[in-house]
Amino acid sequence: MEIKEHLKENGLTLSLKGSFDEASSPEVERKLTEALSQDIKSICFDLGKVPYISSAGIRVLIIAYKKAVKNEKKVLIGDMSAKVEEILETVGILPLFAIPGR
């Protein structure tokens, strides 16, 4: 998995490329922990180039949501592939995240 960080104003975007699964989720979670320690107001996950998300990836998104709420920050999903959207809708966590344009 490739992870790119983009800091803009008071928000951080984590752009992911590749499968968000058991192999990649520890690195994404580490980046998330680092991001939440910064003075930012929001974290945006760009999942447009993620063809698949496993339960390990979903776990990281739920952790992001819980930590962000606790620290009064917002978690957004900026873009996502159709397959990832279908998976997140199926497991019922999509409503937890702000999705720009919706």
Predicted TM-score (pTM) of this structure = 0.88
CA distances in angstroms from 74 to 10, 16, 35, 88, listed in the order given: 11, 18, 12, 18
Q: Whole-angstrom Cα distance, residue 47 to residue 77?
A: 7
* Domain residue ranges of the chain, discontinuous segments joined by +: 2-96
Given pLDDT bands bounded at 50, 70 and 90, which one contains residue 9?
confident
CA distances in angstroms from 71 to 58, 67, 81, 90, 101, listed in the order given: 20, 6, 28, 27, 24
Q: Whole-angstrom Cα distance, residue 69 to residue 3?
A: 23
pLDDT tens digits along 36-74? 888 889 999 999 999 999 999 999 999 999 988 898 888
Q: How far is CA 54 from the centre of its chain?
A: 13
Given pLDDT bands bounded at 50, 70 and 90, which one contains residue 101?
low
Select from 3.40.50.2300, 3.40.50.970, 3.50.50.60, 3.30.750.24 the CATH code of 2-96: 3.30.750.24
